[in-house]
Chain A
Amino acid sequence: MQSYFDTLDNKMTGLLSEMIGNNGLQINSITISAIYYEKYENLIDRSAGHRLGMAIDIVGVTFKNRKEDAFFDDPNNNIPENDSVKAVFNWLVGRNDVKDVYTPWQIKSGTYGIKMSIPNVWSTDKTLTQKRYDLMFGHRNHLHLRLY
């Protein structure tokens, strides 16, 4: 991962600094699992955030109170969204520079027009489109964040 850290856009590193420094969020640490994905190399005409340094995947956030530390690696989707993680989601989607935020609990997509957050219900909703099921299932274990 270290070798790819330089591929991140300055806006992303700035946002991460702001997240850590924000008094309301009380974040202690953020664990990033992915920055750059080679699988997007062939999507030449599509704006793949991970190829442009504008997207990251987060698998863990710890908080200064330590009570609501969140590790997103929950394959069965049975850990509820706690208040601290909800605050992080709301803080991210409330910003004008954040385009997409996908978590195991909620999804907001500027790219594909989900302007109001929808719940991530891959394990319970039987009326999901195949595309949306794959989108939700694919984000069952991390927070994907993409900037404009």
Chain B
Amino acid sequence: MKIKKSILIILLLSGLMSLYAEEPIEHRISITDNLNLREGPGLNYKIIKFKNGGKIENLQLKITDSVKVLKISETEDVINGKKGRWVYIDPGYSDKTCGWVFDYYLAKKEDFRPLVSLPENMELIFDDGDVVIHYKFFKNGTTQYINDKKIKSGKLYIEKSEKVIVIKWDDQKEFYVWNDAFIYKSGRLCVWSIEPGGTCSEVVK
């Protein structure tokens, strides 16, 4: 009886610990495409595969994907001259697949600073399913999101490699890396899409 009780307590404790372990340490955002998710913390571990349509593909993050970091490896690693740590991340898939990625390519909240100017006033309009998405970007680094019901205002923040821009909404007290994000290239703000080069903002005359 005592043994059964002990086993039950151990099971309960390990259950609680695994719940605790899945709490995110922080959110981060990918600043590159084709960032492989691996089964363990190192290049020697296999890349996780998944079925996309009829094809088996490598599971990868794309630029501007935001993720929850669940674990951080204790030691640093150097890959192609880049220093970083391996982090165990949850990208938020339906089947709960998580994996390890090299964090040199994941920007943190501290990596962002306000973007004080853009070369032009711009607009980004596209449809996603049945929803029309509409952003306005202004030369002074402010932005608006427009939908059927409201206009939401915010400021643009850019990370240190200047590849990704994220919005801080005016109604938020602090900046979150999981807010609306854009690829920044040649002075334009773009979202990843199947169109070559993504779907990008256009200058407003």
List of B residues within 8 angstroms of A37 by Cβ: 130
For residue A21, CB closer than 8 A to chain B, the reply is no
- Which chain B residues (86-112) contact chain A, with CB distance < 8 Å? 91-95, 97
CB of A77 closer than 8 Å to a CB of B: no
Q: Tell me the residues in window 127-165 of chain B with beta carbons closer than 8 Å to chain A beta carbons.
A: 127-133, 145, 147, 152
Q: Considering the complex, which residues of chain B in the window 146-195 have a beta carbon less than 8 Å from any beta carbon of chain A?
A: 147, 152, 167, 169, 176, 178-181, 191-195
Contact A95 B127 (CB under 8 A): no
Instruction: Give the contacting residue for A94; candidates B54, B62, B129, B131; CB below 8 A.
Output: B54
Q: Which residues of A contact B199 (CB under 8 A)?
A: 46
- Looking at chain B, what size class is its interface with the partner chain? 35 or more
Min Cβ gap A8→B in Å is 16
Interface of A is mostly: mixed
Check if A116 is an interface residue, CB within 8 A of chain B: yes
A131 interface residue per 8 A CB criterion: yes
Q: Are A94 and B51 in contact (CB under 8 A)?
A: yes
Set of chain B residues within 8 Å of A110, measured between Cβ atoms: 194
A48 proximal to B (CB < 8 A):
yes
Tell me which of A46, A138, A139, A146 contacts B126 (CB under 8 A). Answer: A46
A-B contact pairs, 14 of them (CB 8 A): A43-B125, A43-B126, A49-B129, A96-B54, A98-B53, A99-B194, A113-B193, A129-B178, A130-B145, A130-B169, A131-B145, A134-B131, A138-B131, A146-B129
